[in-house]
Chain A
Amino acid sequence: MTNTLLFIVLPYLAVFACAFGSIYRIKKEPMSYSSLSSQFLENHGLLWGSLPWHLGILLILLAHILAFLFPSFWQTLTSNQVLLMAIEAIGFGLSILCLIGLVVLGIRRLTSPRIQAVTTPMDLLVIALLLAQVGLGAAIAVHCKWGSAWCSGTTTPYLWSLVLFQPDLSNIEDLPILVKAHIVCAWFFILIIPFSRLVHLFAVPIEYLFRPPQQVVWNNSRKLNEETPAFAKEETRRHFLNAFLGIGFGAFLLSVGTLSKVFSFFFGPRLSEKEETELMEVRLAHLESTVDQKKLELERQASKYIMVAPITELNPTAGKYFIDYKMQPAIAFKGKDGYPLLISAKCTHLGCTVGNKVDSEGRILCPCHVSYFNIETGQPNAEAPAKTPLGHLPWVIMDEQGKVMASRDNKGQTSCFVQPDALSAGKVYIAKSLEDKTT
């Protein structure tokens, strides 16, 4: 239960909150989007805090993302003993660099009165969380060695299972508590991004690499309509690009499952001869069962009578389902007059199968959209979505020898050829001959 909460619910919650919150904030409160630099107030500590921290954490995150996005490439990389050692050593070194930077930043924030003037409780939480997260990372590097190698069999499949919406905890269940804490801490980190200064992660000015040095904005509509590249045009283009990328990425995530199937069709493992044969057999069995069904249908169409039940088995309140000539469901009751009452069970609203239990008012219920049908008349209740009555089916009662004892045609005309007491020995059939008259 706790595992489900921390490793399935929390991640989805965090990613959703992060995406939604960040977009909401940039749209509704763009003024609050800033890196909130404090270099102006305190210069010296920042040099020894901000630079080591940012450079270290960027490289570490890059390695994390590589291992997640290209597991097979990463595996090849880490299967080389020398490379593995190098990656581990660099990773540990960088995490120490990050820790030094963080400690400097933390001390600076706690001791400089000028910095305190611009410090919010959230800033302190962010530093605390980052210290915990990087500390855990460094501890993992020491206590659970070769993390860059074992991650491809544990955390990477776990993350991918989350991405593919098929959460699977089996790969991480047995990990040491240090690693689990590192994962949970990461989800918390993502969760608080939109509520803290961490939004500056999304403000990385990549577009600076590509834009011309000068920017001009025209408010004049005559000019706006002309060719000159205006800030406003850039804006709409950027909006379009952002929306396009956003939708594209969403669609990509959604189609990952499909794509993996398509991928495995072309590049996945081929079937062995034995598997091929088995597959053929299964398909043949499917076909055969369909043939049987069709034969049965034909047979029913050809036969003159279809047996419903011995009359003794019929009941006035609990109907017995059967299939009529048109392969439609119907229900057989025992009517008040002691004769069978056969009524179609196909709701006249949208064709659901109507229930077979009669309520105290002599009605049966279609459960789909709550239509009550009176079994005597077939009429639906006034509020029901169904507007036309259920039809009654004609029937015959025959004895063992096939002699007709009683019948009712589709006009509701009942005829009895023997003493009513003797009827209990007979069986109820629907008769093709009587049916035919209806059509």
Chain B
Amino acid sequence: MDIRAQVSMVFHLDKCIGCHTCSVACKNVWTDRPGAEYMWWNNVETKPGTGFPTLWEDQSHYKGGWELKGRDGNKKLELKSQNKIDSFVKLFYNPNQPGLEDYYEPWTYNYANLFEAEAGDDQPTAIPVSLITGEPMNIEAGPNWDDDLSGSTFYAENDINLEELSDEEREQLFEIERISMMYLPRICNHCANPSCVASCPSGALYKRGEDGIVLINQDVCRGWRACISACPYKKIYYNWKTGKSEKCILCYPKLETGQIPNCFQSCVGRIRYLGVLLYDADRAAESMKVPDKALVESQRTAFCDPFDPEIIKMAKANGISDEFIKAAQLSPIYKYVMKWKIALPLHIEYRTMPMLFYVPPLLPVMGKMANGIYTNALDNFFTSLDKSRLPMKYLARLFSAGNEDIIEYVMKKLMAVRYYKRTLDMQDIDLVMMNKMMREGGTTPEEAEEIYRLTAVPTIDQRFVIPEIQREESIESTCNPEICKGSCGIGVIQPPTRGL
């Protein structure tokens, strides 16, 4: 066993209001530079929808993630985008790399024209100009082009996760004016079995041992772009100006000083949780070698109980500090993922073992239409799951690799918690009914209370349990302390300019 600590995350989608504050907080700090204008290390997508970059989930096109190959007993994971030999040909031209058209051409407006335009019959306008060429341009796409479904079902209908839906289910979903939607905020998953790291020809990508953050060493990156197609979540972006790839760094400079990453701190709906999860690195890739529908369960087998004395002993032997172990015990992530099992990874069928988990949204599930009227009568305060507007099949495609049982389990538990709290607060529901719901949801009053407290009224210290990082032990993340010792200006001493 090779116990490692991972700073992992939970996003509670029921609480997300799709305000994009997280995206803006990230953009203003990290990606407001030339070459990075189009990057959204954090973005919020409307689901169903095509996402950013367009149709990023279509791996038959982008070839991201791992593929399970081989027969029973000798299964192995191979990159979908390349093997060791053809990766050399793909240095020259990568057929699966998304281009600017798949994102959008970044632009600004020529505001000066409002003041400097010559007198004329028409009001002067601020025309959009490209941030790449500086030329006037037509805006044809943006980072949130299908935000809030963009006023039509056009984008939603192209969502690749709807493939398996029957016509009836589609009709139900896309009934005019009643189409339901949810928001999906996305950052880098800081995977435990990252395909981007495995694909990097130069070896510039790596996972930090202490906290599992996946980073790109800008001094080693040679711009071969293999990571961009290998990452199935399309969370690695190519900086067209510097000729290097960039990605979410989980605000590690903030984490290292005990602060909360920008997108987490700025979240208006307080949907985000951050904490340590202990996992067995030997099992990371191994646990991903099971059939799609078993992946969620299999991933959980790689996580370790931070209260188990045996695990603590092994973790310490592996160089994990007491502070990390303590943080792992207090971690909200461990509770959501392992204790209550209501947080699920996004698209685990890519087999990268993502370490960002989502509590699926319950709200779109609840309402029900009867004769064209939205009903919310007492006897069916919670509509049955199979009649939900957002089909379970769809959520299963997103969060459990198609395994509807897992989604149903989570939904029932979430419903039971609501039922329980409603009963206590409003006293308008029969206790027998409540007990039935609790049984079906597989939860107890104690657990329901706990879930309610961490979901609805957590303090900031409960949402973000950031371990103290031993600064005296780590000097600089991208440089061996033995080499950097004695030098001054540790860090990136070169301005990130484009080479000749």
Q: Which residues of A contact B (CB under 8 A)?
A: 29-43, 46-47, 50-51, 53-55, 113-114, 116-118, 120, 122, 195-197, 199-200, 203, 205, 207-209, 211, 213-224, 226, 228, 230-236
Contact = CB atoms under 8 A, between A and B. Distances in A.
A190 to B, nearest CB: 16
Contacts of B473: 219-222
Interface in B189-244: 193-194, 197-198, 200-203, 205-210, 218-225, 238, 240-244
A154 to B, nearest CB: 33
A373 to B, nearest CB: 55
B499 A34 contact: yes
Contact of A216 (B95, B207, B475, B494): B207
Interface string B97-109: 1011100000000
A209 B223 contact: no
Contact of A33 (B84, B201, B499): B499
Contact of B500 (A32, A215, A216, A218): A32
Q: Across chains A and B, which 4 residue pairs bring their CB atoms closest together, nearest first?
A: A32-B499, A232-B480, A219-B474, A223-B319
Contacts of B158: none
B498 interface: yes
B135 interface: yes
A18 to B, nearest CB: 14
B133 to A, nearest CB: 4
A223 B205 CA distance: 20
B498 A41 contact: no
B483 interface: yes
A214 B194 contact: yes
Interface of B: 84, 87, 89, 91-95, 97, 99-101, 132-135, 193-194, 197-198, 200-203, 205-210, 218-225, 238, 240-244, 281, 285, 318-319, 321, 470, 473-477, 479-483, 492, 494-500
Given A47-B93, A220-B474, A208 B99 contact: no
Contacts of A219: 208-210, 473-477, 481
Contacts of B476: 219
B332 to A, nearest CB: 24
A36 to B, nearest CB: 4
A55 B133 CA distance: 31
A31 B135 contact: no
B223 A36 contact: yes
Contacts of B203: 205, 207-208, 211, 215, 231, 234
B92 A55 contact: yes
A41 B222 contact: no
23 contacts: A31-B219, A31-B494, A31-B497, A31-B499, A32-B500, A33-B222, A33-B499, A36-B499, A39-B94, A40-B225, A42-B99, A113-B135, A117-B132, A199-B499, A207-B203, A208-B202, A209-B84, A213-B197, A217-B477, A219-B208, A219-B476, A231-B203, A232-B481
A54 B92 contact: yes
A47 B210 CA distance: 41
A222 B218 CA distance: 26
A30 B219 contact: yes
Contacts of A31: 218-219, 242, 244, 492, 494-497, 499
Contacts of B470: 220
B238 A40 contact: yes
A29 B201 contact: no
A215 B206 contact: yes
A123 to B, nearest CB: 8
Contact of A215 (B87, B197, B494, B498): B197
